[in-house]
Structures are given as C-alpha cells and as structure tokens.
C-alpha cells in the first residue's frame, strides 16, 4: 500500500499545506496556521497532525508546538503532491545567455555558477567522463629553454593549457606543422584513444614516418601523457548554505563544507545519479551520505552525442523550493547538452 493510500484526502491536503508553509517560512507550523488555511477547526487539525506524526510524516522539533516534515513527509510531498512550476522568462533567458556565449570557454564552470546564482544554493557539475573527452584542436607556441606551450580544446568548449619540455628547440613553423598534422589525424578522437594511438605510433611506425611526423607524435605524447589536470566536478555557492538557519550551526557547516571538499563521497553519489534517467531527488538521509542528512540533492544527467557523460545538480536544505529547483535542474541539463553538442537546438 502506498503512502497516499494510507492517508485521507484531508490528511494529504494538510500535509501539503504544512510542507509548503515550512518551505516558505522555515518555522515549525502550528495547528492555528493550518486551520486558517484549510478552514477547519483547530481540534480537527490537531487530530490530523497527530495522525501524520504517528505515521512518521511530520515531527515536533524540541518542545515546539509546531511541526516540520520528516524525510518521509518530504518524499510523499515531492512524489505525489508537488506542482512543478515552469521557469519564468528571465531565469530561462539568463540560462540561455550564460550557456551559449561565444567566448565561454568554461561551460562547465559557467553552468555551476548559474545554478548557484539562480537558486541561491550550491551548484555542482561533474566533468565529462575522461574516456569521452574528445580532442577538437591543438596548437603549440614556442617558449624559452626548449619549452613549448600546448593549447588544446576538448568537447567544443573546454580549453586546456600545458607546458612541455622538448628534446630540441623547435621553430614556430615546425610547431605549426606538427599541430597541423595532429589536428588532421586525431581531431574528434577521445583523449584516451589519442594517448594509445600516439604510443603505438612511437613503437611501431617510426620507419615509415618523416622526422616532422615523429616530432609531432613525440610532442603529442608529452602533451597527453596525463589527463587534463582538473577536478572531478565544479562546485559553486557553498556560502549560500549559510543563509539557511537549519544549516547555519557552526559545527554542522564545518562538517558540510568538509564533505563538499572531499571528492570521494560526493562523486560516488553523483555517479549513482548517472544510472537513472530524468531528474533524481535525494532527500536528507536518502543520500546515504551522513554530511547531507539535513540537505537535499536534485540532479539530472547531461549528454554528449546522445551518451550520458556527466551530472549536474543543486544542493540545498531539505526545505528547498522543489517546485522551482526541479525545473531549474532539468532545463539546465538540457541546455548544457546543447552547449556541448553545437549541432543540436533547444
């Protein structure tokens, strides 16, 4: 039997009103407040609230006369009682502009910042999975002392810089020739594939390659010996959480900030989100991550070439405005997929 089947329509109506009021005000909700909204007597409200509390959907914090939702109460609300709102035109325009700017070379970072700014919570976006990061273009610029600056673009938008040390001095013309060769041979291939191909070329094909080709391959090996040095995810807006009273306790904030800075737990949770379609919502202890017991995570995956490569989401208090956050996350994931796949339209 589902949770909605064990509750009367009146109980569902009052639970919905209580959750919405608590999300709005952040204060325990009393029977008098609900009586005014539901046009029922305080005695009736108290009886219904007692039943909701007995069934585990609400509870009383400390000695307060009011009630707040439990994780089960939020879950029932989100799954069965929530009315999701469409994004207003201003927010939608900001998302479009922020993710379609021609000079935006850090689309992942821009996405995280937009989520944090527009929701006033924490925005998080995982980097595309390494095996699906593709080389689009590479350039070499000569520096002093046998050093070469490598500039390469991946997945249309991400620009990476790296300094390599070569065995000999190369002229600008030689570096341009090497870049032209590598762009012609390897553009559009994943970085893992490029690394494997470069190693194989150096081992097996030296007798049929010109010196210029060998130089290009050698520089490519230096450039792609390690993946781009980037974090597994971009996280923005941690200080926004200080604005919510239920998260503002110093020790709790310390634990939460430490958890956000430690990759393993967060990445494990986000990777789990990649296995499911659509928007995923983890409320409080549902995440299985102790530091997030007072938080909710709303996520959605994004794609490159119709393959899921990463996840983005919003982290905030359990009393977040789900009706607004869910469409934010959903639309942003679609727009990021478009930004990473320029031939698509949205």
Query: Domain of 23?
Result: 9-81
User: Among residues 107, 187, 178, 112, which one has the least CA distance to residue 142?
Assistant: 178
For residues 242 and 328, membership in a common domain is answered with: yes
Q: Calculate ∠ Cα 46-49-50, nearest 5°.
A: 85
For residues 275 and 327, membership in a common domain is answered with: yes
> Per the structure, how many domains does the chain have?
3
| pLDDT score, position 130 | 58
For residues 289 and 202, membership in a common domain is answered with: no
For residues 155 and 98, membership in a common domain is answered with: no
For residues 45 and 177, membership in a common domain is answered with: no
For residues 123 and 237, membership in a common domain is answered with: yes
Contact 74, 287 (CB under 8 A): no
Q: Is 1 inside any structural domain?
A: no
| pLDDT score, position 270 | 82
Query: Considering 175, 199, 223, which residue would you say is the last residue of a domain?
Result: 223
Query: Considering 163, 189, 223, which residue would you say is the last residue of a domain?
Result: 223
Distance from the Cα of residue 284 to its chain's centroid? 18
Contact 320, 296 (CB under 8 A): yes
Tokens 């000999």 locate to 168
Q: Is 48 inside any structural domain?
A: yes
Q: Which two tokens mark 323?
A: 């009706």
How confident is the model over 245-268, as pLDDT tens digits? 888 788 888 888 888 877 667 777
| CATH, residue 142 | 3.30.390.60
CA distances for 53 relative to 60, 68, 257, angstroms: 8, 10, 32
**Residues of the chain below pLDDT 50:** 228-229, 346
| pLDDT score, position 346 | 47
For residues 244 and 334, membership in a common domain is answered with: yes
- Tally of residues, the chain: 346
Contact 72, 281 (CB under 8 A): no
| pLDDT score, position 160 | 83
Q: Is 296 inside any structural domain?
A: yes
For residues 152 and 26, membership in a common domain is answered with: no
| pLDDT score, position 251 | 82
| pLDDT score, position 301 | 92
For residues 115 and 243, membership in a common domain is answered with: yes
| CATH, residue 303 | 3.30.450.40
Q: Is 346 inside any structural domain?
A: no
Query: Considering 190, 223, 256, which residue would you say is the last residue of a domain?
Result: 223
Q: Which two tokens mark 217?
A: 């391959």
How confident is the model over 170-223, as pLDDT tens digits? 999 999 999 999 999 898 888 878 888 887 877 666 566 777 788 888 888 888
Residue 96: other Cβ atoms inside 10 A: 15
Contact 254, 267 (CB under 8 A): no
Q: Is 3 inside any structural domain?
A: no
For residues 296 and 334, membership in a common domain is answered with: yes
For residues 246 and 331, membership in a common domain is answered with: yes
Q: Is 2 inside any structural domain?
A: no
Task: Report the distance separating Cα 291 and Cα 256, nearest Å.
Answer: 5
For residues 147 and 191, membership in a common domain is answered with: yes
Task: Report the distance separating Cα 122 and Cα 86, nearest Å.
Answer: 21
Q: Is 36 inside any structural domain?
A: yes
Q: Is 330 inside any structural domain?
A: yes
Contact 24, 70 (CB under 8 A): no
| CATH, residue 62 | 1.10.10.10
């Amino acid at each position: 039997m589902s949770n909605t089947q064990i509750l009367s329509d009146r109980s569902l109506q009052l639970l919905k009103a209580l959750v919405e009021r608590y999300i709005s005000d952040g204060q325990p909700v009393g029977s008098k407040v609900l009586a005014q909204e539901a046009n029922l007597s305080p005695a009736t409200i108290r009886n219904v609230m007692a039943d909701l509390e007995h069934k585990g959907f609400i509870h009383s914090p400390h000695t307060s006369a009011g009630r707040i939702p439990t994780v089960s109460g939020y879950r029932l609300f989100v799954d069965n009682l929530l009315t999701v709102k469409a994004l207003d035109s201003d927010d939608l325009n900001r998302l479009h502009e922020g993710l379609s700017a021609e000079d935006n070379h850090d689309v992942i970072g821009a996405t995280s910042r937009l989520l944090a700014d527009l929701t006033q919570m924490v925005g998080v976006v995982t980097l595309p999975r390494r095996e699906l990061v593709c080389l689009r273009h590479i350039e070499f610029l000569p520096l002093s002392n046998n050093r070469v600056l490598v500039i390469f673009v991946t997945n249309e938008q991400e620009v990476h810089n790296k300094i390599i040390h070569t065995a000999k001095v190369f002229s600008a013309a030689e570096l341009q020739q090497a870049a032209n060769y590598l762009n012609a041979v390897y553009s559009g291939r994943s970085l893992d594939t490029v690394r494997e191909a470069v190693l194989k070329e150096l081992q097996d094909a030296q007798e049929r390659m010109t010196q210029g080709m060998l130089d290009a391959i050698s520089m490519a090996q230096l450039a792609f010996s390690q993946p781009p040095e980037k974090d597994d995810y971009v996280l923005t807006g941690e200080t926004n959480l200080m604005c919510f009273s239920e998260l503002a306790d110093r020790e709790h904030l310390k634990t939460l900030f430490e958890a956000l800075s430690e990759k393993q737990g967060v990445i494990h949770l986000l990777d789990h989100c990649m296995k499911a379609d659509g928007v995923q919502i983890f409320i409080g202890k549902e995440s299985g991550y102790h530091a997030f017991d007072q938080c909710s995570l709303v996520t959605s995956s994004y794609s490159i070439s119709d393959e899921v490569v990463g996840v983005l989401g919003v982290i905030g208090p359990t009393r977040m405005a789900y009706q607004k956050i869910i469409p934010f996350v959903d639309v942003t994931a679609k727009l990021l997929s478009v930004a990473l796949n320029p031939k698509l339209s949205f």
